Amino acid sequence: MNIYVGNLSGEITEGDLQKAFEVFGRVTSVKIIKEDKNEVHGCYGIIEMQDTSEAQASIEGLNEKELKSRKLKVNEIRSSPDAGRRGGGKAGLNRCGHF
């Protein structure tokens, strides 16, 4: 399952996110996407977890929790029906990484 993590601090690392999510289960990948070079517009993360129940537990456990002084927005990424026709990328997310 792919998980969106929004409202990240510009100071956060992929290691920080991995540690936070590993509390709930095995993390298969972590990626942080920064909106621009000076981080003024913030960043968001994409977490992949194989086990659906562990992924759901991480969403419930981390949504609205603080990490590096920022309240996280955590939810499942779901592909929209026309995601493939728009050129893929971050299925279901707009330019700023929000649904």
pLDDT confidence of residue 18: 97
The pLDDT tens digits for 20-64 are 999 999 999 999 998 766 545 678 999 999 999 999 999 999 999
**What predicted TM-score, i.e. pTM, was given to this entire model?**
0.76
Domains and CATH numbers, the chain: 2-76 (3.30.70.330)
What is the 8-class DSSP label of residue 5? Answer: E
Closest by Cα among 71, 60, 72 to 23: 60
